[in-house]
Structure 1
């Protein structure tokens, strides 16, 4: 079994249950900006929101921070509580840790917010560490790769046999950049074929299947 297992957060551990897409839509409306189509909103779950607001929602660069501030306030107030762990995922993580693996979170969500979300959902105690973007999201660069690297550096004794688990292509790309395999989960926000095209080592459709796959070295 892998000695270090890194999990993405939204779309992998936790179902945002519309909190992210609805929150983005509400923030855009509050600032008099157009709301993109549903497929574009879905695509905004996972990548850095600063980048997605510009590239997918067409928010002018000088207005990104005000939209982001409005969105984050709503997410903290009600969005985190709306989210739900995916079926069986807590049991899967607990079982992996019980078998001796170091289990950690690597997300492009701001690290402080990831910590809060995991606490609200009663999941924080399952993970040895949490790694995410800086509090100042406009300063976040490099995508998922440096976040995964930070997790590897935090757990050097286990980093020689590590794997990433995620639901979007940037999870796969960040893992590949660090020389890791990536297991793609089919219950998240990837478009059809996205994970396969990105080079995911394998694709699973349930937490039980994920536990079975991670039980042996890829």
Structure 2
């Protein structure tokens, strides 16, 4: 087995794609339309990554009775203008293409609805690079998602979504899926990886507040795609008997 076969599971927003105001602008537009207060920029940015319904309730204080309406208006706004505002982070396309050329399977595990995640990745011309694209249900409820094979039930939350991506990778290559590594920008990416026996490399260009990734237990934190490539290559090159959680980190590369 060569190190190039060890898979990588990526988060989407804040890791591969910079929403560039598309998400926060859509949330603000939905709240404004319904006469609800709009959080300040720092709190809006903190809503990128976690499950949208949770962020709207816990951060924006949206009443339960209005939650479905806010999400519906947000989705319409995001589809109309938000996707076009997004952009790939510098170096991401080359990183992904290099991994695919080297034979390294890659997947996406995001709390964005799965069908919408596929649309975003297709918009940027990279959907075809991934062996698996997994996300939440269209209504963000547990147990399925747009485009998901319903024969594979998925538990609620990031852990379940990572598990679904990992199952796809395992179906194609059982010997290597268990050595996969997660890459993400928020604490829930680290937690979702840990729940599946994986470790997570944190990226410093996303939306985590200072110290969040360190506190969550990210194995390393990188600040460029060059450093990310080198870290994944180094971790993947270790003997199969070496667990990812044996890697020591000083919080940087």
TM-score range, shorter chain: over 0.9
Q: For residues 1-218 of structure 1, what are the structure 2 equivalents within 5 Å?
A: 1=3, 3-139=6-142, 142-156=156-170, 157=173, 158-217=176-235, 218=244
Moved more, 166-175 or 90-99: 90-99
Structure 1 stretches of 4+ with a deviation exceeding 6 A read: none
Q: Is the 8 A contact 2:10 2:183 kept in 1?
A: yes
Deviation at 1:142, TM superposition (A): 2.8
Deviations for 1:121-171, whole angstroms, at most 9, x for unmatched residues? 111122111000011224476321000000111111231210000000000
Distance 1:60 1:36 in 2: 14
Higher relative contact order (CA 8 A, sep 6+): 1
Q: Is the 8 A contact 1:19 1:83 kept in 2?
A: yes
Q: Is the 8 A contact 2:142 2:156 kept in 1?
A: no
Q: Is the 8 A contact 1:6 1:165 kept in 2?
A: yes
Q: Is the 8 A contact 1:81 1:121 kept in 2?
A: no
Moved more, 121-130 or 61-70: 121-130
What CA RMSD, in Å, does the superposition of the two structures yield over aligned residues?
A: 1.2
What secondary structure does 2:178 align onto?
Answer: helix
Distance 1:8 1:56 in 2: 21
Q: TM-score, normalised by structure 2?
A: 0.84
Which consecutive unaligned segments of at least 5 residues does structure 2 have?
A: 144-154, 236-243, 245-253
What secondary structure does 1:66 align onto?
Answer: helix
Distance 1:180 1:172 in 2: 9
Deviation at 1:210, TM superposition (A): 0.5
Distance 1:175 1:127 in 2: 18
Distance 1:134 1:71 in 2: 16
Deviations for 1:93-134, whole angstroms, at most 9, x for unmatched residues? 111122221101000000000000001111112211100001
Give the number of aligned pairs.
218
Q: TM-score, normalised by structure 1?
A: 0.97
Q: Is the 8 A contact 1:50 1:138 kept in 2?
A: no
Q: Is the 8 A contact 1:185 1:204 kept in 2?
A: yes
Deviation at 1:22, TM superposition (A): 1.0
Distance 1:40 1:191 in 2: 10
